[in-house]
Amino acid sequence: MPIIIILLILLILGILYLPNVWAQRTFKRYATPREDFPGNGAELARHLLDKFEMTHVKVEQTEVGNDHYDPQDKVVRLGVNNYADKSLTAITVAAHEVGHAIQDHRHEAMLAYRVRLVAIANVIQKVGAGILIVLPVIAIITRSPVLGTLFFLAGFASMGVASIVHLITLPVELDASFNKALPMLIKGEYIEKKDHKAARKILKAAAFTYVAASLASLLNLWRWIAILKR
């Protein structure tokens, strides 16, 4: 295999995989419990929600999926560690998710737009997964390489829709991190000045989490390609 092909493959793998590795390493780096924090992620989230007159919004622990704000159920959901720990990662991520709750509470158009796009992307992804599942059967029945290629391209494109949607709506995440969470943490003196730089790193990772995770999920396409080549 020519060296240029190998380098191209490594570049593609790096673009798809490294952002997610960076985000997860950033969270882990600052996940050490701290005695100087008076409360954990869940307690800070509850405090901030009450402070911004969002007593109707609940705070729940989730063991499935990432930390997120659910605009339909009006719930801030935090992972096990970010819910219970008193770490810089926990309280910073909690503030980020409360930032989304504030966007929803203020009826900001960006969040509503993102919610609609994500719903559409989820449907397209399911269709794409279905196409990739039935593709081998169609290829056997039709014995048409052109038709098989078209179906594969359709499935490939649909699987990449989530990455595109998260990239388009990245401003929503950046707003929750740097226009909402960071000012709350600094002005409310929930973190000391020595933690400001680290908090910015965590908030950047929180903003890029969905983009990074959806890019990493595209690596599943390599598995589909391997299956289809059998």
Gap between the Cα atoms of 175 and 204, Å rounded: 10
8 A C-beta contact, residue 90 and residue 81: yes
8 A C-beta contact, residue 59 and residue 45: yes
At 60, phi and psi to the nearest 5? -130, 155
What's the confidence (pLDDT) of residue 139? Answer: 66
Gap between the Cα atoms of 215 and 201, Å rounded: 20
- Please give the average pLDDT of every successive group of 10 residues along the chain, which has 230 residues: 74 76 94 95 98 97 87 96 96 98 96 90 79 71 70 71 82 96 97 97 93 72 55
What's the confidence (pLDDT) of residue 166? Answer: 80
What's the confidence (pLDDT) of residue 126? Answer: 80
Residues paired with 87 in a beta bridge: 33
What's the confidence (pLDDT) of residue 147? Answer: 66
DSSP 87: B
What's the confidence (pLDDT) of residue 53? Answer: 96
Residues paired with 69 in a beta bridge: 76
Residue 150 one-letter amino acid: L
What's the confidence (pLDDT) of residue 85? Answer: 96
Gap between the Cα atoms of 25 and 171, Å rounded: 22
CA 87 to chain centre: 20
What's the confidence (pLDDT) of residue 123? Answer: 85
What's the confidence (pLDDT) of residue 24? Answer: 92
What's the confidence (pLDDT) of residue 168? Answer: 86
Hey, where are the domains in the chain?
3-35+87-228
What's the confidence (pLDDT) of residue 133? Answer: 74
